[in-house]
């Protein structure tokens, strides 16, 4: 019994020492100006589509994201966290109106530039929020009615070329180099231009990514 107690005590002390060393290592990394790359998946939708004075809620669409970021210490646990990312947003919609069933599926690609401020609640955990601007790159959408062949378009003529929005989320450093990042983002401006009369069609959704900090 005494031997088991000594072994257990030794393992506990070793574990605490390892944890303290890891936290010290992470805290030291947090004091440095660092840069990284990130990639992951989005689950986005476009809010509500208006047709014949009625609104129809869009369903979420899975997309891809990848980009680069900086972690610039500001002191007091705060950090400036700018990013530049390629992000796929979009939505799905299926609705029946007057006996006809319409289907809509869109993937819209943007260059997102979030300007985030983070607070390191612990050496590993960062809470962040801030504005972002999105620049339209491309879009691909399909529209179909009943069993008719679907119409596909890649024209960006009716889409807003830039959008203002915001993001809020959490980042967790698994090691000083590897981290995971989860966030909710939304655009404050509508996806389509004013002449399309779709005031409630706005991008929003969640993203989860894996990052590597150099």
SS3 145: strand
Q: How many residues belong to the chain?
A: 214
Q: Give the tokens for residue 196.
A: 């399309």
Strands 100-120 and 61-75, sheet pairing: unpaired
From the CB of residue 128, how many other CB atoms can be counted at a distance below 10 Å?
20
The span from the CA of 206 to the CA of 210, in Å, is: 14
Bridge partners of 97, per DSSP, are 100
pLDDT tens digits for range 113-150 = 999 999 999 999 999 999 999 999 999 999 888 877 78
The span from the CA of 28 to the CA of 22, in Å, is: 10
SS3 6: helix
Q: Give the tokens for residue 177.
A: 């180099």
CB 187 within 8 A of CB 203: yes
The span from the CA of 195 to the CA of 202, in Å, is: 15
pTM for the predicted model, two decimal places: 0.84
The candidate with the shortest Cα–Cα distance to 166, out of 195, 204, 139, is 204
pLDDT tens digits for range 79-103 = 999 999 999 999 999 888 877 888 8
Res 122: pLDDT: 96
């Amino acid at each position: 019994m005494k031997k088991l107690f000594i072994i257990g005590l030794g393992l506990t002390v070793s574990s605490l020492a390892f944890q303290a060393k890891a936290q010290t290592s992470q805290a030291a990394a947090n004091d440095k100006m660092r840069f990284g790359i990130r990639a992951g998946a989005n689950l986005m939708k476009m809010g509500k589509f208006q047709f014949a004075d009625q609104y129809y809620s869009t369903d979420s669409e899975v997309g891809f994201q990848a980009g680069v970021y900086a972690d610039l210490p500001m002191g007091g646990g705060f950090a400036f966290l700018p990013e530049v990312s390629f992000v796929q947003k979009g939505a799905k919609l299926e609705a029946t109106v007057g006996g006809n069933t319409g289907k809509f599926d869109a993937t819209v690609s943007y260059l997102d530039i979030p300007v985030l401020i983070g607070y390191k609640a612990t050496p590993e955990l960062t809470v962040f929020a801030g504005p972002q601007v999105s620049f339209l790159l491309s879009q691909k959408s399909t529209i179909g009615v009943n069993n008719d062949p679907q119409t596909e378009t890649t024209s960006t003529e009716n889409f807003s070329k830039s959008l203002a929005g915001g993001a809020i989320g959490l980042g967790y450093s698994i090691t000083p180099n590897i981290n995971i990042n989860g966030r909710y983002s939304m655009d404050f401006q509508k996806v389509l231009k004013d002449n399309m009369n779709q005031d409630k069609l706005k991008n929003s959704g969640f993203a989860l990514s894996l990052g590597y900090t150099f």
